[in-house]
Amino acid sequence: MLILQRKPGESLVIGENISISVVSIEGGRVRLAISAPQEISILRSELLDATAANRDSAVEEAAPAELLGLLGALPSDKNKQKGEEKP
């Protein structure tokens, strides 16, 4: 893996037509500007993971009723009393 350092305002180029520049660094966040051809898809990687997780959830391998059994074995906190703060 290539690791390199860039300052705000500097950029790098991938291949012939993708360029990424660092816009700013603030509060632990880096702002990037990416210029790439329309057909290149650019996604935050956690979005890909979230999509995969959702697709998994859409195809259940067990019946929901079975899950009820598992949940029944979980400690129940049904007696939590929200909104009943002590004065």
Partner 1 sequence: MTEILKLETKYFGEIECEAKDAICFPAGLFGFEEEHDFLLMPFDGSGGSMLCLQSMTTPALAFVVLDPFSFLPDYAPVLEEAELRQFGVKDAGELGFYVMCALKNPVSESTVNLKCPLVIHPETRQARQVIMGRYEMRHPLAEFGRGEEDASC
- Smaller CB separation from partner 1, 39 or 46: 46
Decide if 18 contacts 35 (C-beta within 8 A).
Answer: yes
In this chain, which stretch among 9-17, 19-27, 34-42, 63-71 interacts with partner 1, using CB under 8 A?
A: 63-71
Distances 10 to 72, 78, 86 between C-alpha atoms, Å: 56, 55, 56
Q: Choose between 77 and 84: whose C-beta lies nearer to partner 1.
A: 77
43 is written with which tokens? 């996604």
User: What string marks each residue from 14 to 53 as x (binds partner 1 by CB under 8 A) or -?
Assistant: --------------------------------xx-xxxxx
Give the C-alpha distances (Å, rounded to integers) separating 86 from 52, 77, 78, 79, 81: 44, 19, 19, 16, 11
Pick 12 or 43: Cβ nearer partner 1: 43
List contacts with partner 1 (CB under 8 A): 46-47, 49-58, 60-71, 73-78, 80
